[in-house]
Chains A and B, each alone.
Chain A
Amino acid sequence: MSLGKEFTKGIFSENPLFRLTLGLCPSLAITTSVNNGIGMGVAFTGVLLASNIAISAMRKIIPDSIRIPSYIVIIATFVSMVEMLMHAYTPELFTSLGVFIPLIVVNCIILGRAEAFANKNGILPSIMDALGMGIGYTLALVVISAFREVLGAGTFMGYAVFSGSAPSALIMILPPGGFITLGCILAFLNKMQNVKVAKKAKLNQSIAQQQLSSN
């Protein structure tokens, strides 16, 4: 697989949130505003990039039988570092993301990429994989949080969207709103996928028929 493909697969065909449906818990919890979504996405991408590089570099020396504990130690280290750096340099983001930064450790996407990709591939593909997955995850978070922030708080990235007096639907920035939004987006994407698959099948069928008739 080419490096470009390693990069784009995380954004579209293997989007961690919308396609692999991994890391749902923090995604539902922090997507109450677009700023949170971007912040979480960037922190996540940083950790994933660092852990993918480290694990890919050490893939030959980490003994197979203790690879999971080794990965966890490595990931936890990077998460602690990111947490401290955010606390020191971006205190506001740190307070709003709160408990979810330490939880990046148990975000299954990171361990998943370590296990499924970084320990089998070289450093360069692993970097592309991490960047693609990170950007895909960030985009997914932004999409969810955009819906939730606009509908639930009437703002986008903190700026008021509606000038009218209609109060926004609070439920969208409460936990149920996260489930409703994610459910609707997944349903929409699956529908699109089905339509695409059906179209493709039809196309193949017609090609086959043409070939048959031409034969």
Chain B
Amino acid sequence: MGALESRDIHKRYGSTAVLRGVSFTARPGAITLLAGPNGAGKTTWIRVATGLARPQAGQVLFDGQPVPGQRHRLGVVLNHPSVYPHLNGYDNIRCLAGVGSWNRRRIHGAVESLGLGLEDARLRRRAGGCSHGEKRLLVLACALIRDPQLLLLDEPSLGADPLVWQRITNTLKYMRDEGRTVLLTGQSLNTLEALVDDVAVLLDGCVVFHGSLAALRGRRPPRVEVRVRDPEDVGTLLRVARPLPGAPVGTFSVPCGSRAEAEEVASRVQALGIPLLRLEVREDTLEEAFTSLLDADHGREPREDAHAG
């Protein structure tokens, strides 16, 4: 299995530079999240990687070769669930997955083995009459049935209900465990956190972070979060903590240098003997780490409300 390498991709639309030297690597056997705010260039990068858009410079390689030359090893799910509305699920899969010679039984067997919950009755229906979620499952099936070595998914969690998302994540984890290279984009970072291994963060067309999820979450040290019941106790607590903006009244946060220090601070707060509603040693979630990264890149102080749990 090969790695996916984005090498110094530059892409402009007219005078607007959308990608400005995007370089990162997605490992095989790992799920990489390409994160970024709206307009950061995630979808454009996917389009460049799949050959749908031509970059002004740079290239995307899989296993050392340009991706568009290896279409038979590629599965793509674009952010819009594009289907032929007048065809049923079977015919859509035949055309969109590029398996035109497969008969219905073979497609049914393959789809069933994907574990996406697409039953025969659903596949017999015209795709135009399917819900948004069903269409997403269908296009995902089109990508997965190709048995791709490289899977690129643009916003796969969009419009997926919890059950559908669970099926999707199970399938993606299976592919990762098989050693495939999986890269996805998405905005629902809380949802994606349990799924991804690596993260590349795009901001204004540049990669501002690339590494493991643990490394991103560990960019800022842990902290102790505490909430008191009685506002009278606030004065006591203010000796060690500062209020957490955006959180309920009486919530405080203590930044620490390390996990050990955070645990010591938590012990000290507990030793104060005041009634507590909450006492927790916390590390950044993916969303918090992402937000702080964007704030830092914009030259601002990290917003404290990013820590609100």
A, B from the same assembly: no
